[in-house]
A and B are shown apart, each in its own frame.
Chain A
Amino acid sequence: MSTNKIEIKHLSVDYTERGKRFNALHDVSFGVGAGEFVSVIGASGCGKSTLLSVLEGIYQAADGSVEIDGHALHGTGRERGVVFQHYSLFPWMTTRSNIAFGLKQVRHDINRRERLKIADEFLGKVGLEGFGKKYPSQLSGGMQQRAAIARALAMDTEILLMDEPFSAIDAKNRVNLQELLLSLWEGDSPAKRKTVVFVTHDIDEAILLSDKIVVLTAHPGTVNEIVPVPFARPRKRDELVKTEEYGKFRNRLLSLLYHDVGERIGGEEVII
């Protein structure tokens, strides 16, 4: 019996593009403990988003398995909440209706008025008080992602899957959103924290947020290394980035990320 919340075993994923089959992920295995925050990083095309699609249940694995609480994963599930990079929210619903709509899918015991009340409460938590009646198109990208996070949190799923949620946001707002997510997640007591799988290509984002970082290598996507993040919580970005350990740790991740790039270029005897 594994104690992990999510157990990924020998996962391989193929995808077809213009009639050709590609091996997007090959023999990927790692576990995510209950209440653990795990980031998956890798260069573009390494299959990190494909991996998350499998966890979401909208993409089928060719081989291997994913288990949640020891049960094999089949399709989407109510124990998983998802935040995408784009279109997490439905553009024709106001932000509070979006949250209420998400709640409706997981909780049948409460009526619409109660759902909207919860929606407003969570909009407040992500700093969007008073924006409940706005449509997504009337909000900035950063505010849309806040609302998407509010919906995922309001649904109160045990697992949170986040697919590059802050990648399309400008640098300043991205930092704000990272800190918001960090404070909301760390705000729960360790026993009640959500299990998070967070896909990103931003190393600093991964270090700030995660307990553990899974570094993927591309073509096909395989696990290069699984690196525990050694920094104590609660974390403060300003203090953390100034330390020497942070710089060293960041360099180590960078070399893991680009090690295969160098190897491939070297293999072709190209001199930079």
Chain B
Amino acid sequence: MTWKKRFLRVTHLLFLILLLVQLLPDRSAKDVHTGALIAFAVGLEAAALIGSFLIKKAESLSLLLDIAGFIFVLLTVWSLATAKFNILNDVLFPAPGKVLAQFAEDREKILINIRSSLGITLQGFLLAAVAAIPLGLFLGWNARLGGAATYISKFFSSIPPIVYIPYGIALLPTFRSVSVFVIFLATFWPVFAGTMSGVMHVDQRIIDSAKVLNVRKPEMLFSVILPAALPQIFLGCNQGLSVSFILLTSAEMIGARDGMGYYVKYYSDFGDYTRTITGLLVIGIVVIAVTFLFNQLQHYLLRWKK
């Protein structure tokens, strides 16, 4: 990459525009925490510049700069619509600086809630994967049962898992166990269906290749069929993961004592919209972070694919 390609990027211009906009007088009567906004913007710009020095791959750098640029534009528009021109209702729509300041103030509380939410999701998700993948492998490999199991899993995966919540509450002792149970059910069926379809669609030529090598049955299942079905298994896992997050947040809004869904619901009940929006943004960021990490894992495990 040339020097120009590396540093002459539109993102930096967007950063400057955001700063210039902050010179406009505030129209909102409420405290808008312009300082917090500027501190955040400078931090993000610094990260973008450090990235420009260190990142070698052109696509990765572009991704970072595009995301940073998007955030600068979002903050500029948000800031104009709230603090600067007060177009939106300033009770329902706090200024960006205020949300950022709130985030800084509540960071410990938020961290505890994230940990609780992630713990439940991971536990439900991992339990489902550990149960669904071997079962899917076994049933998919067994041609006769596989056909019936496909329809059965279609039946169960069409039921919105949220309907299990009342049963969970009636049968299980704690809210946490109910959440884990619901996420388990929500993840189990897509992962199970993905695994089975993966196993049933393994290229016959690959199976023949393994047969002529005289691969024994357990090795056939775990060294041949499992890796061959892995792309489809990941498809199911991705589906399960995104359903899990939506469900967990909904579940936490119904009856939890902690977690990000609870945080949002609790403060919106009090009309504290600054914290409500802070919570929503945090949920979005956590989902993106988990998805990113999961994609990295997928990318690594499927590195043999073209």
Cα-based distance from A136 to B205 in the complex (angstroms): 15
A228 close to chain B: CB less than 8 A: no
B304 close to chain A: CB less than 8 A: yes
Q: Find chain A residues with CB under 8 A from B303 CB.
A: 135
User: A72-83 vs B: 1/0 string, CB under 8 Å?
Assistant: 000011101110
The one of A58, A87, A106 in contact with B211, judged by C-beta atoms closer than 8 angstroms, is A58
A86, B205: Cβ atoms closer than 8 Å: yes
Q: Find chain B residues with CB under 8 A from A161 CB.
A: 212
Nearest CB in chain B: distance from A193 CB, A: 21
Cα-based distance from A16 to B214 in the complex (angstroms): 26
Name the residue in A76, A78, A106 with the highest tally of chain B Cβ atoms < 10 Å from its Cβ: A76
Q: Find chain B residues with CB under 8 A from A91 CB.
A: 206, 304-305
A88 close to chain B: CB less than 8 A: yes
A7 close to chain B: CB less than 8 A: no
Q: Find chain A residues with CB under 8 A from B306 CB.
A: 137
A84, B215: Cβ atoms closer than 8 Å: no
Cα-based distance from A93 to B304 in the complex (angstroms): 7
What is the interface of chain A mostly: helix, strand, loop, or mixed? loop
By beta carbon, the residue of chain A nearest B207 is: A58
> Interface extent on A, as a size class?
20 to 34
B228 close to chain A: CB less than 8 A: yes
Count A/B pairs, Cβ under 8 Å: 56
Q: Find chain B residues with CB under 8 A from A15 CB.
A: none
A92, B205: Cβ atoms closer than 8 Å: no
B305, A105: Cβ atoms closer than 8 Å: no
By beta carbon, the residue of chain B nearest A94 is: B304
The one of B206, B209, B212, B224 in contact with A57, judged by C-beta atoms closer than 8 angstroms, is B212
B208 close to chain A: CB less than 8 A: yes
A102 close to chain B: CB less than 8 A: yes
The one of A90, A102, A137 in contact with B305, judged by C-beta atoms closer than 8 angstroms, is A137
Cα-based distance from A136 to B227 in the complex (angstroms): 14
A90, B209: Cβ atoms closer than 8 Å: yes
The one of A86, A87, A102, A135 in contact with B213, judged by C-beta atoms closer than 8 angstroms, is A102
User: B209-223 vs A: 1/0 string, CB under 8 Å?
Assistant: 111111100000001
- Ordered by A's residue number, 23 sampled pairs between the chains whose C-beta atoms are within 8 Å are A56-B208, A56-B212, A57-B211, A58-B212, A76-B214, A77-B214, A80-B212, A82-B209, A84-B208, A87-B203, A87-B206, A87-B209, A90-B224, A90-B227, A91-B206, A91-B304, A91-B305, A92-B227, A92-B228, A101-B223, A135-B304, A137-B306, A161-B212
| Chain A residues within CB distance 8 Å of chain B | 56-58, 76-78, 80-82, 84, 86-93, 101-102, 105-106, 135-137, 161
Besides A58-B208, A87-B203, 7 new A-B residue pairs in contact (Cβ under 8 A), listed by A number: A56-B208, A82-B209, A82-B212, A90-B224, A92-B304, A137-B304, A137-B305
